[in-house]
Amino acid sequence: MKYTNSIEIALPREKVAQLLADPAHLPMWLRGMVLHEPVKGVHGHLGTTSRVVMQSGKRTIELTEMITRRDPADLHAIPEEVVVHFDRETVGAGMWSVVRDRLTDADPETTLWVSESEYRFSNLLMRLMGLLMPGAFHKQSQQHMEDFKAFAELGKDVREGAN
């Protein structure tokens, strides 16, 4: 299953890239984030492998994430016209996914974030979910992007009012 999401964020590309790469911000915009800890490497850097724990209702999901591309490596003073790339591969029980994020200038003060996602399922339950509810994956990815936009532009934390 493959799909693409996009959103415009009213901040310069360099600022968006820095916010996305900062692990301290993840729980503020990534709903269900319980834990994101590097087990090898430095958070967000090329080649880093991390243990990720997500909560979805009463279900806890544990994943392994590897950063497969981060370009440029230095997210400060990104040259004009340079597209920022963040690619990561995630493996969990019955599933594998890759997400390719691209940040480009919509204009000098606005960033276009395009995210391409691909999922493959190896067990029957996950295959059925992928077949019967492909829109749910797409919708969840868009929700994460909208939550990031609200966090980046307005400082909104998804944990506030979630009780």
Q: Is residue 33's pLDDT more than 60? A: yes
Neighbours of 86 (CB within 10 A): 22
Structure confidence at residue 34 (pLDDT): 93
- In the chain, the amino acid numbered 13 is R
Mean local confidence (pLDDT), 97-116: 95
What dotted CATH number matches 2-31+68-154?
3.30.530.20
Structure confidence at residue 131 (pLDDT): 63
Mean local confidence (pLDDT), 96-105: 95
Domain boundary assignment for the chain: 2-31+68-154
